[in-house]
Amino acid sequence: MKKRWSTFVLPILWLLSFSLSGQISFTAKANKYVVGENERFTVEFKLNERGSNFNPPDFTHFVVLSGPNPSQVSSFDSRRGRSFSLAYSYYLRPRKKGTFTIGSASIKAGGRTYKTEPLKIEVVEQAAQPANPNDPRALAEANAFFKVQTNKTTVYRGEPLVANYKIYFNTQVGNPQVMEEPDFTGFYKETVELKNIETRNERFGNRRYQAGVVRQIILIPQKTGALSPGEVKMRIPTIVETNRRDFFGFRSRQQVDQEQVERFPRITVKPLPETGRPSSFEGAVGDYSFDVSVSRTELSADESLSLKVSVKGSGNLKLANLPEPELPSAFEAFDPKYKESIRVNQGGMSGSKSNEYLLIPRYGGTYKIPAMEFSFFNPDTERYETLRSKSFEVTVEGGVPSPGTGSAVAAEKEGVSFLGKDILTIKKDLELSQRSAPFFGSRLFYTLLIGMLVLLALLTGLGIYLKNRKVDLTLEKQTKASKKARKHLAKAKKELDAQNIEVFYEALAHALWGYFGDKLNIAPSKLSKETIADKLSAKTIDEALINQATDMLNRAEIARYTGVTGLNSRKDYEDTALMITQMDRHL
C-alpha cells in the first residue's frame, strides 16, 4: 500500500515543484533603505524571464546618477534546466531629507504585464553606514569629481560673475561631458570658449588633486533676490583598480562612467541703489571710459563729417546702451554704423562698442553739437559715475543760408518756388531732337543676347566640371584615407617602441581623426565624435564597431589632453589597427 501511495504522490510533488519554479516574478530591491542625504545607493528591478517594454518609476525625489543599466544572466542546471534573468539597475542620490516612496516599475513577459511593489526609502542627515571602499563606483567618486564654483556669490543686478565647472582627479579620466545644465532663468549667459583643459595641483579638503576647468560661463543677473540656477549633471569616465588580477599578477582596471550632479551655488543679487542715480543712467554696470569725437569741425556744404560715440571697459558691456547725440536740424543724420569688439574670458566681459554717425549739412553757418553724458554704476566703489564729453562747434561754408527760426513749411515752399523757376527756364531754352531708333530688335540687342547665351553655356559647363572635379577629389580622398592612417600608425609604432608615450598617442589621434575625416568626407570644422557616430550609423555600421571607434577616440583624447597615458599602449595600437581594418571592410 505504501509503495502504491509513493508511486502516485512523488510525481505529483515533482510536477508541483516544476510549476512553481516556472512562475514569472518581477521584483524591486535597494541595496539600502536608510541612506544619508549625500549618500549614493542602488535600486534594482529584476525579472526571472525574458521581457520587454520596461517602464521605470518616477524618481522625483532622487537624482538619477546612472541608469537604467540593463544586465542579463543565462544559466543551465541539470535539475531545473535552463534559467534566465533580466535586471535594470539605477544609481541614485537623494535630493533632500525625509521618507519617500519609489513607485512601481512595469514590464511585459509571457503575454502579461508585471509590476513591482513600491519601495520606501528613508533619507537621514548622515549616512547609515560608510560606503564599501572596494566598490568601483565609490572608488571612482573618491578619485574623480567636479564642483561648480563662482568668483562671487553676492552681486548687484547687472554685475557679471564667472562660473567654473572644475574637475578634480588623481586617477586616469576620460573627456568629461556636461549632460544637463540649468536654463539660467533671470540671467544673461555667455559661454567662454576653452581651447584645452589646463590642469594644476590643488588641494581639496585634506587631499591633493589635479584640477582643471572643463567649462566656464559668464552670468549677468537681470533680476534681484536669492537666485538658485539649478543643478549641473556631468559624466566623468573614470579608471579605477579592481580586486582582480591579470595573467601577470597585476591588478586589473576598469572604466566607470560615473554621472555626478552638483547644485549651482545660490547667488544673492542686490538691487542698484536709488540714491544718486543720474538721469542719464541706462543700465551699464562695471568700469568704463567714454569718448565722443568728430572727424572735422570745418567743411563746405558739399562735404560730410562723422560723429563717433564709443565706450570702453569691463562689465555688462553687451547690455550697456550707448547714448544718442542731439544734432542740429541743419544736419541730415544717417543710421549709425555699429561696431563692437567684446572679449568673454576668465576675467569676465570687456572690450569696446561704438556708433558712428554720418552727418551731411543742409545749410551753411556755424552749429553746435552739445556735450554728451554716459553714466554707469561701479560695483567696486558702489557708486554711480557720470562721464561727460566736450561739445563741438562745426562751421559749414557756402550752401543755402539756414532759414533760422522760420517755419519748416515756408522753407519747403521756398524750395518749390525755386524749383518752379528752374523748370520754366529749361522749357524756354529746350531744343527738340529726333528720337533715336528702338533698342529692341536692333543689331546691338541681338549681339548682347547671343553674348549672354554663350556666357550662360560657359558657366553651366564650368559648374558641371567643378562638380565632377569635387566628386573626383572626394573619392580620391576617401581612397587614400586608409593609406594615410597606416602612415600615422607606423609613426605611432616607432614612438611606442621608443617609449615616447605622449607622442605615440598624438600620432594615434592623428591617425583616427584623419581617417574618419577623409573616409566619411567630414569637414575639419564639423569633425567630432558625435558626427562620426552619426555618419557610421547612417552607413549601417555595426553598433559594436561604432562603440569601439568612439572608445578609441576617447582613449587617445584622454592621453593627449589630460597628460595621463594609457593603461596598455601596445594594446591601444593593436586595437586601433584592427578597428581601421574592420572599418575598411564595411566602408
SS (H, E, C) 155-196: EECCCCEEEEEEEEECCCECCCEEEECCCCCCEEEEEECCCC
> For residue 468, what are the contacts with CB-CB under 8 A and spacing of at least 6?
none
Which pLDDT does position 188 carry in this prediction?
93
Which pLDDT does position 552 carry in this prediction?
82
Please give the Cα distance from 171 to 209 (Å, whole number). 9
Beta-bridged to residue 350, according to DSSP, are 314, 343
DSSP E strand boundaries for 296-364: 298-300, 305-315, 331-333, 337-345, 348-361
> For residue 85, what are the contacts with CB-CB under 8 A and spacing of at least 6?
46, 47, 48, 49, 72, 73
Q: Confirm if 92 and 64 have CB atoms less than 8 A apart.
A: yes
Q: Confirm if 40 and 94 have CB atoms less than 8 A apart.
A: no
Please give the grid coordinates belonging to residue 211. Answer: 584640477
Buried b (16+ CB within 10 A) or exposed e, 549-568: bebbbebbbbbebbebebee
CATH number, span 136-270: 2.60.40
Please give the Cα distance from 292 to 172 (Å, whole number). 55
Please give the grid coordinates belonging to residue 497. Answer: 617602441
Please give the Cα distance from 559 to 175 (Å, whole number). 10
> For residue 531, what are the contacts with CB-CB under 8 A and spacing of at least 6?
522
Please give the Cα distance from 230 to 245 (Å, whole number). 42
Which pLDDT does position 178 carry in this prediction?
92
Please give the grid coordinates belonging to residue 123. Answer: 533619507
Helix and strand tally (H, E) in the chain? Answer: 8, 31
Which pLDDT does position 134 carry in this prediction?
66
Which pLDDT does position 578 carry in this prediction?
82
CATH architecture classification, 21-124: Sandwich (2.60)
Q: Which residue has the cell 534559467?
A: 83
DSSP state of 379: T
> CA 25 from chain center: how many Å?
44
The overall longest dimension of the chain from CA atoms, in Å, is 148
CA atoms within 13 A on the CB side of 478: 13
Which pLDDT does position 291 carry in this prediction?
96
Please give the Cα distance from 134 to 239 (Å, whole number). 14
> CA 257 from chain center: how many Å?
20
Please give the Cα distance from 293 to 310 (Å, whole number). 9
Please give the Cα distance from 62 to 43 (Å, whole number). 11
Q: Confirm if 389 and 371 have CB atoms less than 8 A apart.
A: yes
Which pLDDT does position 502 carry in this prediction?
79
Q: Which residues of the chain are modeled with pLDDT < 70?
A: 1-22, 74-82, 126-134, 243-251, 402-441, 467-479, 560-567
Which pLDDT does position 436 carry in this prediction?
53
First to last CA, the chain: 76
Which pLDDT does position 355 carry in this prediction?
95
Which pLDDT does position 356 carry in this prediction?
95
Strand bridging mode 154-156 / 267-270: parallel
Please give the Cα distance from 145 to 283 (Å, whole number). 39
DSSP state of 319: G
- Which three-class secondary structure state does DSSP give residue 113? strand
